[in-house]
Structure 1
Amino acid sequence: MVKAHALYGNKEKAKDPFFGLTMGSGSQSSGDVFNWFCAEAGSSSNPTVLLIHGFPSQAYSYRNVLPVLADKYRCIAFDWLGFGFSDKPQPKYGFDYTLDEYTSALESLIDAVAPDKLSIVVQGYFAPIVVKYAKEHQDKLNHLILVNPPDPLRASDKALTSSGPYMMKEEDATVYRRPYLVSGASGFALNAITRAMEKDLKAYIESMRSILASDSWNTKTTICWGLRDRWLTYDGVEDFCDGLKHNVVQLPMAGHHAQEDRGEELGNIIKRILR
């Protein structure tokens, strides 16, 4: 399902960087909106759970989580702008992929798809953006679940600058490849996102840690951790959470992308946390 939701920004249509011509529909705003790819499951009368992927990933990574939650919750998984099947605007024309813009974009999307209270699950390097949003909207949140979020003292930037083998079925790999095969905009977007994260991510991570440790933070918070993470270490997570009364749940057989590695298990964990 592809839905168009308003994005706070300058709303200027993207143009080809070489010829100045208007780019294809997947790379531009239409009036004042960008298209966000959203997958939904469950009844709209149920409590809402927003499932947010990390870097670099897609809503598709939650394909085995959605069915587990759908009997009790209205579940929404979306592709961030620049990822998967959401729009990939050309930088300098409506969206520059800065972390501040992503925070604002998240606010606009949540206002559109979940006007009432909700719970949020976010994985990996997009966790600091979600925590920044949550700080200003604690009244909207029932629960925040962070899956393998980065720590400012131990986080590695290898996930931003390198890659390695990741075992999955060929048909699943095809879904992840497709956006890069059908449009060059995916490459432009990925490069822009990587540059923005290399520039601002550390400050965002430090801010996330400060927010979660603040006396003003009163949102129920759980950290789920795939112990086979190759990029982030579990050292210190329990100590940090114990002092702040945040909950910790381990997934011994999952790696950095726990929803990809152990989707059904993560879905059941989320269910237990939220009930």
Structure 2
Amino acid sequence: MIAHAAMTTSCNSHWLQQRLLSCASPRFSLPKINASLKRRVQLSSRFPCRALYVDDEDYLLDAPVSAGDGFSFAGGKYSIEEGPSEKWFARGKWINAYAMKDGSKKARDPVFGLALGEASQVSDESLRWFCVEEGDSQNASVLLVHGFPSQSYSYRNVLPILSSEFHVIAFDWVGFGFSDKPQVNYGFNYTMEEYINAFTCLVESLALERMSIVCQGFATPVVLEFARRNEKKVDRLVLLNPPVTEQHAKLPSALSIFTNFLLGEIFVQDPLKAGENPINECGPYVLNEEDAMVYRRPYLTSGSAGFALQAISRELKKELKGLVKTSRQILSDDKWNKRTSVIWGSKDRWLELTGVQELAKSVGLKLTILEEVGHHGQEDFPEEVGAAIRASLKRPLLV
């Protein structure tokens, strides 16, 4: 059932002025780049205040309010037509992996202790992971691992580049995208050790004997530790802007804001701050409106999406320094015999390139620098990043 959004009929003039100024801000200026490369840099031609008017026929809710979970609400797309989120969901499937302790208890929100609706409850004793699988299963397998916070959707344009030669699987981490988002203290607490164990269970459920792994951003410590513990399963590693130097040990402000007392609880329930802002603020580019809605959607439909984001943000803030140190030690270990490549987008506003080149040279990492790419390279320039990933995956293995 499609219902018109109940929106306010007027727009505060001061807010409007500030919004116009922010859209004209130099932060959104675009560098000169090859026009033949597909970009996500174009700002939406729709003025964001347009949806505030009652007679705006284009702004529709994709579900009644009753479809929410009692803490958040269901929400928002710009057409009754099937959108990118629905199309991406149709390409995937559920994989059950990692049995939870106390997963049968009904979750309550951590602020007021109110019972959460079905959208925030885990449906089974094992976690459900959303996976998109493409390519011939007889080919070498490649896992595409998104960073924190993001979704497997970020790899949507990289999948076709790789699936012609590889068996490729992209998945949503627990707490993100379409995967389950258990409440903290209800079977999963979003610690790094839990993520490593859960990822191990996912690989077992996918029945992958050997694989290569492409991993982006702050998920790198999980993947590196998994590879260290499961050396015989992993052929190659391709790391996209991984935190591996001392300069990377501080959590970016766009994520640390979610760890604040009280304010954090509010901000993680804001679909703009929680969904799209981290993607936009980590580089010089912004999502177009359709893609931005995909990243907002988990925070529009489930309060647990925000609580999960807060939990992982707090874990990273507390443990990031140690995780970066451990990652660097793994890569520097003389016993580390994995063919490891690093693809670095030099426009990353979260993680500096400083120190990465020296590390790569000292431990023998293959480093590819992409000049116009930001932190989420697979969103910025999927063709260029996809080609770099493919080249890294085709490098000969060490004997």
What's the TM-score bracket when you normalise by the shorter of the two chains? over 0.9
Aligned to 2:124: 30
Comparing 162-171 with 140-149, greater Cα deviation is found at 162-171
**In the TM superposition, what is the alpha-carbon distance from 1:124 to its structure 2 partner?**
0.4
Count of residues in correspondence between the two structures = 274
Aligned-pair identity in percent equals 43
Once residues 256 and 22 of structure 1 are traced to their aligned partners in structure 2, the CA distance between those partners, rounded to angstroms, is 34
1:237 equivalenced with 2:356 (yes/no): yes
Q: Which residue of 1 aligns with 2:177?
A: 84
Segment drifting more, 64-73 vs 261-270: 261-270
One-letter amino acid matched to 2:204: D
1:2 is aligned, of 93, 96, 105, to 93
Q: Distance in 2 between matches of 1:131 and 1:105?
A: 14
Query: What is the alpha-carbon distance in structure 1 between the residues aligned to residue 105 and residue 93 of structure 2?
Result: 19
Aligned to 1:161: 256
| Structure 2 residue matching 1:90: 3-state secondary structure | coil
TM-score (norm 2): 0.66
One-letter identity of the residue aligned with 1:17: R
Which residue identity lines up with residue 234 of structure 2 in the other structure?
L
Unaligned runs of 5+ in 2: 1-91, 258-277, 395-399
Paired with 2:347 and 2:379, the residues of 1 have a C-alpha distance of 13
User: In 2 relative to 1, CA 174–14 (structure 1 residues): closer, same or farther, beyond 3 Å?
Assistant: farther
State the Cα distance separating 1:225 from its structure 2 match: 0.1
| Alignment partner of 1:96 is 2:215 | no
Superposed CA offset, 1:214-245 (max 9, x none): 01111110011000000111111111111211
Contact 1:11 1:29 in 2 (8 A): no
The answer to whether the 8 Å contact 2:105/2:186 transfers is yes
Matched residue type, 2:346: L
Q: Residues of 2 paired with 1:132 and 1:63: CA distance?
A: 26
Report what 1:110 is aligned to.
203
Using the TM superposition, give the Cα deviation of residue 160 of structure 1 relative to its aligned residue in structure 2, in angstroms.
2.2
The Cα offsets for residues 151-184 of structure 1, whole Å up to 9 and x where unpaired, read as 3410131152254645122111111111111111
Partner Cα distance (1:22, 1:239) in 2: 49
Q: Which one-letter code corresponds to 1:190 in the other structure?
A: L
Contact 1:48 1:114 in 2 (8 A): no
For residues 101-125 of structure 1, the C-alpha deviation after alignment (integer angstroms, 9 at most, x for no partner) is 0111110001111421100000001
**1:82 touches 1:89 (CA, 8 Å); kept in 2?**
yes
- Cα distance in 1 for partners of 2:337, 2:117 equals 44
Aligned 1:1-275 pairs, distance under 5 A: 1-10=92-101, 12-17=103-108, 24=118, 27-28=121-122, 30-31=124-125, 33-155=126-248, 156-158=250-252, 159-161=254-256, 163=278, 165=281, 166-275=285-394
Match of 2:268 in 1: none
Kindly tell me: are residues 118 and 26 of structure 1, through their superposed partners in 2, closer, same or farther at Cα, counting changes over 3 Å? farther
The answer as to whether partners of 1:118 and 1:142 remain within 8 angstroms in 2 is: yes
In structure 2, distance between residues paired with 1:169 and 1:25: 27
CA distance in 2, matches of 1:110, 1:202: 27
Amino acid at match of 1:218: N
Deviation at 1:191, TM superposition (A): 1.0
Question: SS in structure 2 opposite 1:57?
Answer: coil
CA displacement 1:29-74 (0-9 Å, x = unmatched): 513x111111111111111100000111000000110010011011
- TM-score, length-normalised on structure 1? 0.94
Gaps of 5+ in 1: none
Change (3 A) 1:11 1:70: farther
Closer, same or farther in 2 for the Cα pair 1:30/1:9, shift >3 Å?
Answer: closer
Query: Do the aligned partners of 1:13 and 1:22 also contact (CA within 8 Å) in 2?
Result: no
Structure of larger gyration radius: 2
Contact 1:90 1:189 (C-alpha < 8 Å) held by counterparts: yes
Over aligned residues, Cα RMSD in angstroms? 1.8
